[in-house]
Amino acid sequence: MREVAVIGVGQSVFGKLPEKSVVELGREAVVAALKDAGIGPKQIQVAYATQAGMTAQRILKEVGIAFIEMVNVENACAGGSTAFRGVWKEIADGRYDIGIAVGVQQMTRSPIAGRLIPPGADDLEGQLGLTMPGIFAILARRQMAQYGSTVEDFAMVSVKNHHHGCLNPYAQYRKEFTVEDILNSRMICEPITLLQCCPNTDGAAAAILCSMDIARRYTTQPIRVLGSALLSGDYRYLHDDVTTSALGSETARRAYEMAGVGPENIDVVELHDAFANEEMLRYEELGLCPPGEGTRLVREKATWVGGRIPVNPSGGLLALGHPLSASGVRNVGEIVLHLRGQAGERQTPGAKVGLAHMLGGSVEGLEAGACSVHILAR
Amino acid sequence: MSERIPFRKDTFAETPEGLVLLANRCRSCGQVFFPKAVFCLSCLGEDMEEVKLSQRGKLYSYTVGHMPSMHFQPPYAIGYVDLPEGVKVFAPLQLSENAPLEVGMEMEVFLDKLWDQEEQEVVGYRFRPAR
């Protein structure tokens, strides 16, 4: 297997942008990534994009990329990281030398804009009223009952990520909120309020990868992909405790093993914070703290920019925004910026190793649809 | 009276003792599945027998939804109930000011109307604090 580097990242503006199409958003991200990498469109040999509907072809033909292998993948919110991993595999396996991953989602033009994602006809739990915020609200109650987490703890995660959003020019929301603001916002699913939920977001992100042996032709700062893991959820009946994620722990274990590093080596983390209470459980499964101590990490403010282990310095899904399948490419891009020392006001000082995590989809009977972890290093 | 139809076939039955949930158990390894599995997902055994689940269990966790879901207008309660057979059942819950929900409380299942579908009344299972 060959060593692979990320040599270019880019994203579109994130926000509620009904006037922009999937192609326009995607093109913005691809042009930014090509410029960042300093390469031309004709050098791209393989492309993976998210969602059905010939997304890669429709976007890339706009910027002079055609007549190469293109693959479109769907894996819910893990779609972007699945596309990134697809390109990584092509290059690691030696099939191609340079490729691009594109994640894009137009939410405000979709039929579910401003509503909850509707369940499938064969989804028994969805038909009976289970929704995405419902899943995480049920989880939140267990965190409260089992670990003594409080709604103030959950709100504090959102306070943090909104603060981080203020430091990121690409964030959808650049506004500070207090714990009271968060808790007093509209109730969605008890105890989760509106400002503890990620917003509807339109946006796109792209990443350009190449084999390490040619990376130095293009950049003095290639960012190495040390570990990549993608896993589907296990049967839920095999795992009784919903507050410990077998899926997240195993995905992280595989990525750490491949990377040859442990949680103690990680300097900065981007993870799936679709709901505020979720973030503290991810700390545990990624090994940032022992099981059951996610709440303590929040209370110690260890995961703020400037803290021991900054988490979601971009603002995360809560403040930066969450164009579902774009987020898995976008959060790799955020890690790349920190490893290059280009993350501006939110920079993690001296970051050497970073981790990007995503979680996607709800499937009845399984813990979740898919989970991915990528570990990158300079 | 409008016709009553089950929201999903083969998930529950009406008995003189009230509604019971229908699961199945693998005769080889004993694993119980709700809803029923076509074959055992643990040992892949194909010899499955139907079991009627206990009507009472403990509330594992719950939430009250304040945004409309597919079939329910807010506020509505949903949650998981742990049954003695080792099964965690997701279900709509009865929301009542007289009996507030609490993690760990004893719950019982009952037959209830879930929603209307054209001229038909869709029925299914719901849990409420045990009396």
Residues in chain A with CB shorter than 8 Å from the CB of B124 are: 128
| A218 shares its domain with A250 | no
Nearest to B127 by CA among A215, B28, A258, B99: B99
Helices (H), chain A: 22-37, 55-60, 79-92, 124-127, 132-147, 151-166, 179-184, 212-218, 246-259, 276-285, 294-299, 316-319, 327-340
| A78 shares its domain with A215 | yes
Active site residue A163: no
Q: Which helix (H) or strand (E) holds B115?
A: strand B106-117
| A263 shares its domain with A141 | yes
| A56 shares its domain with A176 | no
Peptide bond before B75: cis, by omega within 30 degrees of 0? yes
Span B83-101, average pLDDT: 94
Quote the domain boundaries for residue A54. 4-110+202-222
CA distance A30 to A70: 14
Contacts of A12-15 with CB under 8 Å at 24 or more apart are A12/A203, A12/A204, A12/A205, A13/A170, A13/A203, A14/A170, A14/A171, A14/A172, A14/A201, A14/A202, A14/A203, A14/A320, A14/A321, A14/A323, A14/A330, A15/A172, A15/A201, A15/A202, A15/A203, A15/A321
Residues of A with CB under 8 A from a CB of B: 115-116, 118-119, 124-131, 133-134, 137-142, 144-145, 186-192, 235-238, 240, 242
Q: Tell me the shortest Cα–Cα distance from A174 to chain B, in angstroms.
A: 26
* A242–B103 C-beta distance less than 8 A: no
Tens digits of residue pLDDT in A264-310: 999 999 999 999 999 999 999 999 999 889 999 999 999 999 999 99
Q: How many domains does chain A have?
A: 2
Q: Give the closest of B8, B66, B88 to A187, CB-based.
A: B66
* B69–A134 C-beta distance less than 8 A: yes
ipTM: 0.95
Residues in chain A with CB shorter than 8 Å from the CB of B89 are: none
* A124–B8 C-beta distance less than 8 A: yes
- Tell me the pLDDT band of B108, cut-offs 50, 70 and 90: very high
* A126–B70 C-beta distance less than 8 A: yes
* A134–B63 C-beta distance less than 8 A: yes
Span A68-89, average pLDDT: 98
Locate B34 and state its tokens: 């709700």
| A192 shares its domain with A207 | no
Interface test with A, best of B26, B61, B101 (most A CBs within 10 A): B61
SS3 A263: helix
| A55 shares its domain with A76 | yes
Task: Out of A163, A164, A272, A322, pick the active-site residue.
Answer: A322
| A49 shares its domain with A11 | yes
Active site residue A210: no
Burial class (CB in 10 A: 0-12, 13-18, 19+), A53: exposed
A116 located within any domain:
no
* B62–A141 C-beta distance less than 8 A: yes
- The answer to whether residues A234 and A125 touch, using CB atoms and an 8 Å cutoff, is no
Span A56-79, average pLDDT: 97
Interchain CB contact of B63 with A (< 8 Å): yes
pLDDT at A118: 79
Q: What is the CATH number of the domain that holds A277?
A: 3.40.47.10
On the CB side of A179, how many CA atoms lie within 13 Å of its CA?
A: 10
| A154 shares its domain with A86 | no
Interchain CB contact of B92 with A (< 8 Å): yes
- The answer to whether residues A185 and A7 touch, using CB atoms and an 8 Å cutoff, is no
The answer to whether residue B2 scores a pLDDT higher than 80 is: no
Locate A17 and state its tokens: 């942008």
pLDDT at B97: 85
CA distance A42 to A39: 8
Locate B57 and state its tokens: 């269990």
pLDDT at B1: 56
| A303 shares its domain with A256 | yes
Q: What is the distance, to the nearest Å, from the Cα of residue A87 to the centroid of all Cα atoms in its chain?
A: 17
Tens digits of residue pLDDT in A86-126: 999 999 999 999 999 999 999 998 877 777 777 877 889 99
Q: Give the closest of B35, B60, B66 to A124, CB-based.
A: B35
A334 located within any domain:
yes
- Tell me the pLDDT band of B3, cut-offs 50, 70 and 90: confident
| A99 shares its domain with A216 | yes
Domain coordinates of chain B in residue numbers? Answer: 4-129
Peptide bond before A191: cis, by omega within 30 degrees of 0? yes
Nearest-Å Rg of the Cα atoms of chain A is: 19
